[in-house]
Structure 1
Amino acid sequence: MTEAADRGRGEPAVHIGSVEGSAFAIGDGNKVSYVRGGTAPADQAQAALLAAVTALRADLARFTATPDNAALDTELAAVEGEITTEGTASRGRLARLRDAVDVAGPLVAALASGTAVAESLVALLGG
């Protein structure tokens, strides 16, 4: 869009007030990257865990809430928050998530996202 004052110049003008939660590029050959939150995951293992945690939280939202599922979602949210702010989840936080995954058991095992979280935890914490 152009402002009325810019119309007489013969050049188009673009005015952007503010942008939040988005990424964009102008011109040819540009590459845009967007990292939600403050910090990117510290390594590939943390990135894989973050992706699995995000997917499992979305899957859990489709089920009827139970105390075990709610406890699991609380731990998933805590891990997600730690990775997005610190770049890595602490061993203690990962151990609490593993315990919550064990308690939620059959539901988590039935979901591909749950299996991915469990596999990521084994990779980060060991057997």
Structure 2
Amino acid sequence: MTTDEPNVSIGDVSHSTFAIGSHARAVGHHGTAPQRDEAAEELLKAVRELRADLTRVRASEETDALRAALEETEEEITRTGRAAPSRRERLRELLTDSQTLLSVLASAGAVAGLVGL
């Protein structure tokens, strides 16, 4: 008895990206990290410094929101090589809401300057 179904064989799939199915989508993130320009590197450094400094201040709704946004920004720059304009705008908004923090932490002022505040 023979069948008309295709025969599929999958060998070694190490370091591969694939998807199976009619609506499947595969995204591979193999290889080296994306290239970052000087501005992205500078912002990433400032974001990391501010995140470290925020561990030294009393937590509030504002600092929690800023911490989360900084973490997302760091992840985005690391993953894509840049921070999207919407991400920079969100940081501007949070830093504007945290004016007291800007006067206390030099790292907050550095991030604020790099996102155009």
TM score, norm. by length of structure 2: 0.68
> What is the match of residue 44 of structure 1?
38
Q: Give the distance between the partners of 2:48 and 2:34, measured in 1 at CA.
A: 14
Matched residue, 1:95: 89
Q: Which has the higher helix share?
A: 1
> How large is the RMSD of aligned CA atoms in angstroms?
1.5
Residue 74 (structure 1) aligned with residue 75 (structure 2): no
CA distance in 2, matches of 1:52, 1:62: 16
Query: Alpha-carbon deviation of 1:40?
Result: 5.2
Corresponding residue to 2:104 among 87, 110, 117: 110
Give the Cα separation in 1 of the matches to 2:83 and 2:97: 20
Show structure 1 runs of 5+ residues with no match.
Answer: 1-37
CA distance in 1, matches of 2:79, 2:102: 26
Q: Which runs of 5+ in 2 are unaligned?
A: 1-31
The TM-score, its normalising length taken from structure 1, stands at 0.63
- The CA deviation at 1:74 is 0.7
Q: For residues 69-104 of structure 1, what are the alpha-carbon distances to aligned partners after superposition, in whole Å with 9 as ceiling and x for unaligned? A: 000111111110000000001001110111011111
Residue number in structure 2 paired with 1:85: 79
Aligned residues: 86
Q: Percent identity?
A: 38
Q: Secondary structure at the match of 1:88?
A: coil
The list of structure 1 runs, each at least 4 consecutive aligned residues, that deviate by more than 2 angstroms after superposition, is 38-41
Letter in 2 for 1:56: L
CA distance in 2 between partners of 1:41 and 1:114 (Å)? 25
